[in-house]
Amino acid sequence: MKTSANKLLDELRVITLWVIERGRVFEQLPTQTMLEQPSPESWNIVQCLEHLNLYGDFYLPEIESRALKAGKVQGDYEFRSGILGNYSANSMLPKDDKVRKMKTFKDKDPSKLDLQCEVVFARFFKQQERFLELLESCRSVDLNRTKTSTTLKYLSFKLGDTLRFVIYHHKRHIWQANNILKALNQEQQEKELSELIH
């Protein structure tokens, strides 16, 4: 993938603003709805957000430290995605309203954690605001030459691909949370209809 660096950062900013906006919608839901699972093997909405928080704990300091040490650039330039970075970033995005299932690392799996909704949401919004700040500060950083570590040992991406991967990952799990809410609403509507009929 080749694109203007500023255009890429603008796209990622728009996605992050959407992620925050959807988070605000989820925050207004009744606690029971936030914690309800559509099926025993699926996550609930709060778990989706905590999963993003767990990744943010790694990627926020990593991106920030690499961006601070990076060579500075002025003006716009072409960002050229790496082969593996591009593949990894694109694999996060839903295609035809479906996401490819992926195994979650144990330390990033929220299903065994005792989660408090207020704490999860506070961490989530704080991290998303920090991502917005980092996207802005990355406008003066070379997204091609600056490399970052990833959660996969021995694998590094160009900074531009890391930003894409992380923010597309946010989009993936907010999309998942939206689908959870739709499924719960569908179940509620079917239950109400069933009560009307009987």
- Please give the pLDDT value at position 71: 84
User: Which CA distances in Å does 130 have to 13, 90, 123?
Assistant: 11, 23, 11
Q: What is the per-residue pLDDT across 133-174, written as a single tens digit (0 to 9) for each? A: 999 999 999 999 999 999 988 899 999 999 999 999 999 999
Mean pLDDT for the chain? Answer: 91
The count of domains in the chain is 1
Q: What is the pLDDT of residue 109?
A: 85
- Between the alpha carbon of residue 176 and those of residues 31, 103, 171, the distances in Å are 18, 15, 9
pLDDT at 196 over 70: no
> 85, 147 in Cβ contact below 8 A?
no
User: What's this model's pTM, rounded to 2 decimal places?
Assistant: 0.91
Report whether pLDDT(195) > 60: no
CATH number at residue 170: 1.20.120
Across 64-84, b (16+ Cβ under 10 Å) vs e yields: eebbeebeebeeeeebebbee
Range of the domain at 172: 2-197
Say if residue 113's pLDDT is above 60.
yes
Mean pLDDT of 97-121: 84
The pLDDT assigned to 105 comes to 77
Could you tell me the two tokens for 13? 């900013």
